């Protein structure tokens, strides 16, 4: 019989995690391109108000600032969950995930009520090219947040039921990457859409 | 009450959705009958269980590759019939004769032809060949994410079914293969045709994006021990370049299709003619994806030619490093030229000049590659096998196409030939010789590895010659017609123009190409018939150079009994020269089958169908189903199994015994 190697399962697992993490980074880059396209579309259309209101009339900066602080805080608490993960403290991981989930939910709720207010005032996405691109860009971010929240709920339940196994740890790490990524995208939305939009340039 | 019920459950769907015209009705009946025959045969021969376990749920890239190729070949026949219909119409629809097809049918036919050929033939063949070859070339057993690989395939297939369903239920887009607005907006295309176009591409496109990520990670992370990037086979490099383009370009397509759908379904104003929309933005966005798409398709084909030329010249590839740099340059430049598709839109002379020069620049790395292949052949001991016939045809035609391309890169000339048949002839020269010939050559080259027997060489050569000659007959007249002023997408023209003889020649060319396709099908059939005499017992039928030839044909599902170690570029060739053989046994981890990818494919079909017909309930059910399926999948903690070294050895010995039986036929 020829030479036989047995599997080093630890190494196999490490390689798989390495691959998944790298793959997830590549996915995030493709998502970056997706948002970049939407930003480009917004940049082209942001002046096309077609006689309707522009950003200056529509955006309430203090409200959006609160939204922003809520989302940034959720990113911070997600970081705390990751620190707890490093210490293998399951209770703390679940606790911080829950805080993150609530903050994410508050952010989403605030965004939806902002949208709702605009639509009821007659400024829906049908009003103008500017509003179409506004709703789509910000809404796509909101959709990502929704996916993140579903994911968070699922991984949270897994953490509770299975404990911090290799798979669960891997998924938590990817989730936190995703969540921070959405945070970065929001910072661009806050700057480009809301801050610059309020200046009306 | 009944009204709201109908809207929830049927949306826009009604009895009128079923085809009224004779042509589409015939096609619809054909599709339905064909599907029924396949289903009956499967039931009659009790093959459902076999189909489910061996194929539909598989995560083996070799099998997924075969399925991609089967779908793509079926779609080649569909897109090919569209082409024949167009040639027929333009050959006879002169003066008082209005041809066999109504203008509306004709528009649907050319829209479907372009869409199907690019998305479901070229992309399908490309992903098929990559799946069949790439992991083995890298000295690996699998792609980085086998589950996602299967999912990509089923999304691709789901999109394919959707686009063909448009023949049976409803209609297809009549707005051209890229559906420019405002024509593709609701106001001018109120039917479901454009929605069919959007959703079949959207679903298949998401699959392609996932494939892009998958193969990119595979190349970066799954290379065997010792295989540095600069020791990879050239095909792997070309796929690397292509997949980088997929990762950067396909998200743009996803966005563009979504925005068009939002315009049509929710009354947004991205590309509408009024309310602040900007149709020119669509043209920019679609080509920011579309131009890289050309290179996504052509790079892997270049990689295939690199492998073939080296093998059949019995020399190592000339200028490996310059090839890698050429791929890098093409990847970069392909994102800087999209505006040359619409010089006439009015961006201004300076902008046009920049993009014109960038377009000419891209001819340089492409030229480098052509010269490298020619220098590889120089002083090589060339064997003129059928893959080489495809290659020689490619070199000649591709240079013709390249020269016309550089011509049109001059904006002043482009203004003259824009939207003419000259352009149609140019891009068909590039795509057919650059992409299709390459994939055919690749299939002829690698199918012995997949099937375990060689293909009939004589029929293969006849097929290649039919394609080359048929191509010249079909498209060279179009160059002339274009210069004479014939615009593309004509369903009728005046007899006094004197175009008919050239259109008839083009029609004859199409017939010769059809003869080539028949020869290819015949080649496959004859080879399967004579498979016992044609059995490839060595695993290395062409005296190959790269690792895929070091394993037996057909490749065992575990590929390598022990992963190889690489020190050279053409490792297998070096091993043969040194009289070495890599071997041994090891425990192997393989993915288990999973039904989730095909289920998600089916659910995304429901999402697409619901969105097309505005049956929103169905779309939501499909979406929730997809989320549930993903959660169920994520609960599976044991997606893999271990094949022990002992078991591998037993399988190997059984295979060797089988080989001895086959050897009787030799």
Whether the per-residue pLDDT at B276 is higher than 70: the answer is yes
Strands B640-643 and B588-591: antiparallel
Q: Do B645 and A129 touch (CB under 8 A)?
A: no
Q: How far is A1 from chain B (nearest CA, A)?
A: 9
Q: How many CB atoms lie within 10 A of CB A14?
A: 12
Nearest CB partner across the interface for A50, out of B251, B276, B637: B276
- Both tokens of B584, joined, read 């041994």
DSSP character at residue B434 = I
pLDDT at B546 over 60: yes
Q: Where do the domains of chain B lie, and which CATH numbers do they carry?
A: 47-493+530-594+636-663 (1.20.210.10)
Fold exhibited by the domain A20-198: 1.20.120
How close B258 comes to chain A (CA, Å)? 10
Instruction: Mutation target for A interface from B147, B217, B257, B261: give the one with most A CBs within 10 A.
Output: B217
Which residues of chain B are within 8 Å of residue A136 when distances are taken between CB atoms? 258-259, 262, 268, 270
Other C-beta atoms within 10 Å of B417: how many? 19
DSSP state of B230: G
Segment B206-234, tens digit of pLDDT: 999 999 999 999 999 999 999 999 999 99
Per-residue burial over B71-96, b if 16 or more Cβ lie within 10 Å, else e, is: bbbbbbebbbebbbbbbbbbbbbbee
The answer to whether the Cβ–Cβ distance between B584 and A3 falls below 8 Å is yes
- B230-265: burial string, b at 16+ Cβ within 10 Å, e else: ebbbbbbbbbbbbbbbbbbbbbbbbbbbbbbbbbbe
A18: closest chain B residue by CA:
B221
Collapse the DSSP code of B589 into the 3-class scheme (helix H, G, I; strand E, B; otherwise coil) and give the result. Answer: strand
Secondary structure string (H, E, C) spanning A138-174 = HHHHHHHHHHHHHHHHHHHHHHHHHCCCHHHHHHHHH
Q: How far apart are CA A172 and CA A190, in angstroms?
A: 27
Whether the CB-CB separation of B447 and B455 falls below 8 Å is answered with yes
- A48 vs B589: CB contact, 8 Å cut-off? no
CA distances from A2 to B561, B585, B660 (A): 11, 7, 22
Give the C-alpha separation, B83 to B109, whole Å. Answer: 8
pLDDT, averaged across chain B: 93
B364 Cα distance to chain centroid: 25
Gap between the Cα atoms of B504 and B24, Å rounded: 25
Helix intervals (H) in B530-615? 531-534, 571-578, 596-613
Å between A21 CA and nearest CA of chain B: 10
Whole-Å CA distances, B169 to B8, B104, B110, B190:
18, 16, 19, 16
Q: Are B488 and B107 in contact (CB under 8 A)?
A: no
Sorting pLDDT into bands at 50, 70 and 90, what band is B83?
A: very high
Q: Decide: A197 and A56 in contact? Cβ < 8 Å.
A: yes
| Beta-carbon separation of A128 and B586 below 8 A | no
Q: What is the mean pLDDT of residues B183-187?
A: 94
Q: How far is B599 from chain A (nearest CA, A)?
A: 20
B221: nearest CA partner in chain A: A19
ipTM of this complex prediction, to 2 decimal places:
0.95
Q: Is A9 on the interface with B (CB under 8 A)?
A: no
User: Is pLDDT at B433 greater than 80 in this prediction?
Assistant: yes
Q: What is the pLDDT of residue B660?
A: 82
Q: Do B221 and A15 touch (CB under 8 A)?
A: yes
pLDDT at B392: 96
**A158-178: average pLDDT:** 93
Give the per-residue pLDDT at B226.
Answer: 94
Residue in A23, A135, A167 closest to B213 by CB: A23
**For A79-83, A191-195, B8-12, B502-506, which range has the lowest pLDDT when averaged over its residues?**
B8-12
> A12 at the B interface (CB within 8 A)?
yes
Position B26 confidence tier, pLDDT thresholds 50, 70, 90: confident
Residue B66 clears pLDDT 50, i.e. is over it: yes
Per-residue pLDDT reduced to its tens digit, B461-492: 999 999 999 999 999 999 999 999 999 999 99
Q: Note the pLDDT tens digit of each residue in A67-77.
A: 999 999 999 99
A8, A26, A39: which to substitute to probe chain B, counting the most B Cβ within 10 Å? A26
| B313 neighbors B324 (Cβ within 8 angstroms) | no
Under DSSP, the state recorded for A192 is: I
- pLDDT tens digits, B103-140: 999 999 999 999 999 999 999 999 999 999 999 999 99
- State the pLDDT at residue B20: 66
Residue of B223, B224, B275, B653 for testing the chain A interface, max A β-carbons within 10 Å: B275
- What residues of B are in contact with residue A149 (Cβ under 8 Å)? none
Q: What confidence tier does B17 reach under pLDDT thresholds 50, 70, 90?
A: confident
- Smallest Cβ–Cβ distance between A34 and the set B254, B276, B649 belongs to B254
Question: According to the model, what pLDDT value does residue A1 have?
Answer: 38
Distance from CA of A156 to the nearest CA of B (A): 13
Distance CA B573, CA B552 (A): 15
Residue B661 has pLDDT above 50, yes or no: yes
Please give the residue of chain A at the shortest CA–CA distance from B627.
Answer: A150
Indicate if the pLDDT at residue B665 is higher than 70: no
For chain A, what is the radius of gyration of the CA atoms? Answer: 21
Q: According to the model, what pLDDT value does residue B662 have?
A: 77
| CA pair distance B114, B104, nearest whole angstrom | 16
Confidence of residue B15 (pLDDT cuts 50, 70, 90): confident
Q: How does B543-574 read in b/e, with b if 16+ C-beta sit within 10 Å? A: ebbbbbbbbbbbbbebbbbbbbebebbbbbbe
* Confidence check: pLDDT of B146 > 60: yes
**Could B645 and A4 be called an inter-chain contact, meaning their C-beta atoms sit closer than 8 Å?**
yes
Q: Residue B270 and residue A38: Cβ atoms within 8 Å?
A: no
Classify B535 as helix, strand or coil.
strand
Distance CA B620, CA B607 (A): 7
Q: What is the mean pLDDT of residues A157-162?
A: 93
CB contacts, 8 Å: A132 with chain B: 262-263, 268-270, 276-277
- Of B259, B277, B583, which has the smallest distance from its Cβ to A2's Cβ? B583
Question: Residue B24 burial by CB count (10 A; 0-12/13-18/19+): exposed, middle or buried?
Answer: buried
Q: Are strands B585-586 and A4-5 parallel, antiparallel or unpaired?
A: parallel
Confidence of residue A2 (pLDDT cuts 50, 70, 90): very low
Which residues of chain A neighbour B583 with C-beta distances below 8 Å?
A: 2
* Percentage of chain A exceeding pLDDT 70: 96
Cα of A186 to nearest chain B Cα, Å? 18
- Residue B390 pLDDT greater than 80, yes or no: yes
What does the pLDDT read at residue B3?
Answer: 58
* Confidence band, pLDDT 50/70/90 cuts, at residue A146: very high
Distances B144 to B296, B385, B636 between C-alpha atoms, Å? 20, 34, 18
| Cross-strand pairs, B453 | B535
The distance of A147 to chain B (nearest Cα, Å) reads: 10
CB-CB contact of B287 with B424 (8 Å):
no
Average pLDDT over residues A98-108: 97
Residues in chain B closer than 8 A to A2 (CB atoms): 583-585, 649
Q: Which residues contact B515 (CB under 8 A, 6 or more apart)?
A: B466, B470
**For the segment B594-610, what is each residue's pLDDT rounded down to a tens digit?**
999 999 999 999 999 99
Which residue in chain A is spatially nearest to B249 when comparing CA positions? A33
Of B248, B256, B268, the CB nearest to A125: B268
Query: What count of other Cβ atoms lies within 10 Å of the Cβ of residue B191?
Result: 15
Q: Which of B311, B333, B147, B305 is nearest to B237 (CA)?
A: B305
Across the interface, of B213, B276, B642, the residue whose CB is closest to A45 is B276
Q: Where are the domains of chain A?
A: 20-198
**CB–CB contact A23 B285 (8 Å):** no
Mean pLDDT, rounded, for B37-56: 91
- Residue B2 pLDDT greater than 60, yes or no: no
């Amino acid at each position: 019989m020829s030479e036989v190697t047995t599997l080093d399962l630890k190494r196999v697992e490490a390689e798989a995690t390495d691959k998944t993490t790298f793959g997830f980074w590549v996915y995030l880059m493709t998502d970056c391109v997706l948002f970049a396209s939407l930003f480009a579309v917004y940049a082209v259309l942001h002046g096309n108000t077609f006689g309707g209101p522009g950003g200056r009339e529509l955006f309430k900066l203090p409200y959006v600032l609160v939204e922003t602080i809520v989302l940034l805080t959720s990113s911070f608490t997600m970081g705390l969950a990751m620190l707890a993960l490093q210490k293998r403290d399951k209770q703390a991981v679940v606790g911080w995930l829950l805080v993150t989930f609530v903050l994410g939910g508050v952010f989403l709720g605030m965004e939806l009520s902002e949208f709702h207010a605009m639509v009821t005032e007659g400024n829906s996405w049908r009003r103008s090219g500017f509003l179409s691109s506004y709703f789509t860009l910000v809404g796509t971010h909101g959709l990502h947040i929704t996916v993140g929240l579903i994911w968070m709920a699922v991984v949270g339940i897994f953490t509770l039921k299975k404990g911090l196994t290799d798979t669960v740890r891997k998924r938590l790490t990817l989730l936190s990457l995703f969540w921070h990524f959405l945070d970065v995208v929001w910072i661009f939305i806050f700057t480009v859409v809301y801050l610059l939009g309020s200046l009306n340039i | 009450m009944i009204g709201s019920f109908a809207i929830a459950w049927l949306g826009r769907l009604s009895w009128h959705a079923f085809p009224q015209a004779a042509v589409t009705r015939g096609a619809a009946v054909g599709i339905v009958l064909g599907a029924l025959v396949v289903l009956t045969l499967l039931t009659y021969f009790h093959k459902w269980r076999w189909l489910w376990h061996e194929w539909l749920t598989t995560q083996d890239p070799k099998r997924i590759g075969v399925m991609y190729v089967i779908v793509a070949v079926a779609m080649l026949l569909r897109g090919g019939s569209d082409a024949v219909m167009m040639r027929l119409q333009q050959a006879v629809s002169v003066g008082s004769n209005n041809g066999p097809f109504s203008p509306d049918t004709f528009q649907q036919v050319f829209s479907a032809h372009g869409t199907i050929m690019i998305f479901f033939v070229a992309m399908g063949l490309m992903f098929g060949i990559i799946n069949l070859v790439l992991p083995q070339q890298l000295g690996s057993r699998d792609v980085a994410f086998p589950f996602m690989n299967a999912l990509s395939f089923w999304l691709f297939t789901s999109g394919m079914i959707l686009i063909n369903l448009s023949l049976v239920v409803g209609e297809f887009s009549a707005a051209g293969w890229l559906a420019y607005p405002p024509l593709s907006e609701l106001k001018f295309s109120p039917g479901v045709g454009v929605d069919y176009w959007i959703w079949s591409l959207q679903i298949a496109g998401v699959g392609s994006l996932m494939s892009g990520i998958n193969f990119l990670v595979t190349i970066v992370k799954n290379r065997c021990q010792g295989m540095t990037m600069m020791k990879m086979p050239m095909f792997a490099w070309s796929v690397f370049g292509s997949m980088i383009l997929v990762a950067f370009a396909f998200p743009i397509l996803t966005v563009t299709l979504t925005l068009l759908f939002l315009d049509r379904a929710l009354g947004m104003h991205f590309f509408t003619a009024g309310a602040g929309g900007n149709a020119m933005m669509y043209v920019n966005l679609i080509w920011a994806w579309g131009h890289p798409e050309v290179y996504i398709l052509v790079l892997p084909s270049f990689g295939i030619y690199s492998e073939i030329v080296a093998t059949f010249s019995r020399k190592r590839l000339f200028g490996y490093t310059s090839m890698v740099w050429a791929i890098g340059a093409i990847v970069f430049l392909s994102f800087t030229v999209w505006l040359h598709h619409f010089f006439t839109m009015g961006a201004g002379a300076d902008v046009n000049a920049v993009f014109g020069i960038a377009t000419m620049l891209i001819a340089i790395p492409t030229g480098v590659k052509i010269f490298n292949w020619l220098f590889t052949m120089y002083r090589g001991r060339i064997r003129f096998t059928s893959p080489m016939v495809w290659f020689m045809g490619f070199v000649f035609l591709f240079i013709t196409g390249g020269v016309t391309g550089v011509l049109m890169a001059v904006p002043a000339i482009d203004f003259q030939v824009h939207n003419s048949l000259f352009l149609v002839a140019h891009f068909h020269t590039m795509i057919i010789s650059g992409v299709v010939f390459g994939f055919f050559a690749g299939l002829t080259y690698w199918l012995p590895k997949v099937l375990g027997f060689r293909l009939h060489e004589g029929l293969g050569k006849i097929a290649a010659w039919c394609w080359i000659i048929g191509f010249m007959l079909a498209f060279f007249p179009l160059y002339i017609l274009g210069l004479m002023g014939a615009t593309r997408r004509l369903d009728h023209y005046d007899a006094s123009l004197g175009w008919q003889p050239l259109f008839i020649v083009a029609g004859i060319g199409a017939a010769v190409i059809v003869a080539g396709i028949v020869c290819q099908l015949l080649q496959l059939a004859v080879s399967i018939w004579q498979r016992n005499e044609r059995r490839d017992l060595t695993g290395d039928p062409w005296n190959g150079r790269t690792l895929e030839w070091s394993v037996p044909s057909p490749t065992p599902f575990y590929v390598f009994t022990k992963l190889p170690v690489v020190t050279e570029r053409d490792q297998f060739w070096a091993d043969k020269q040194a009289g070495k053989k890599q071997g041994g046994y090891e425990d192997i981890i393989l993915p288990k089958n999973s039904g989730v990818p095909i289920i998600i494919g089916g659910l995304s079909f429901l999402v697409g169908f619901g969105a097309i017909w505005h049956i929103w309930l169905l779309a939501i059910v499909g979406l929730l189903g997809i989320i549930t399926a993903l959660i169920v999948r994520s609960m599976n903690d044991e997606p893999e199994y271990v094949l022990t070294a002992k078991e591998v050895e037993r399988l190997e010995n059984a295979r060797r015994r089988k080989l001895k039986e086959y050897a009787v036929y030799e």
